[in-house]
Amino acid sequence: MNKKLLLVGAFLWMAFSAVAKPGGYAIVRVYDTNKYVGTGTGFLSMQIQIVYEDGTFEVVPLEPYSEKNSIPNLRKITEALNQMRQKGYLFVSSSMTGEQGNMMTEYLFEKLPYGIK
């Protein structure tokens, strides 16, 4: 009886440990800088930076700050966040820091194991 229970337990452990392995994390960072503040040194231009769990990254440039560019930039940010979901990532949390004219928003995503969406 104990051997059967041990074998069933070992089988279940192996089966579920393979499924439960985490896929890692990715960070999406959005720099939203005012054109006046952003022209000095020490500030990045408006952009989206994405770093994946394997260390690869991409930078998506945003249009300079203006009322005219507000909606197109929001569309690019939304597209980047939606692409994370399509790539198998689950939104975990977000945070924002900065001051007027220089804001940074960070989104944390977890890679779902084995393509679970």
Mean pLDDT per 10-residue segment, the chain (117 residues): 54 48 86 67 81 95 89 96 95 91 92 72
Asked whether 62 and 47 are in contact (CB, 8 A), the reply is: yes
d(CA 9, CA 5): 6
Residue 80, pLDDT score: 97
Residue 91, pLDDT score: 95
Residue 21, pLDDT score: 54
d(CA 4, CA 9): 8
Residue 89, pLDDT score: 95
Which pTM was predicted?
Answer: 0.73
Residue 15, pLDDT score: 47
Cα-to-chain-centroid distance, residue 56:
12
- Residue 114: count of CB within 10 angstroms of its CB: 10
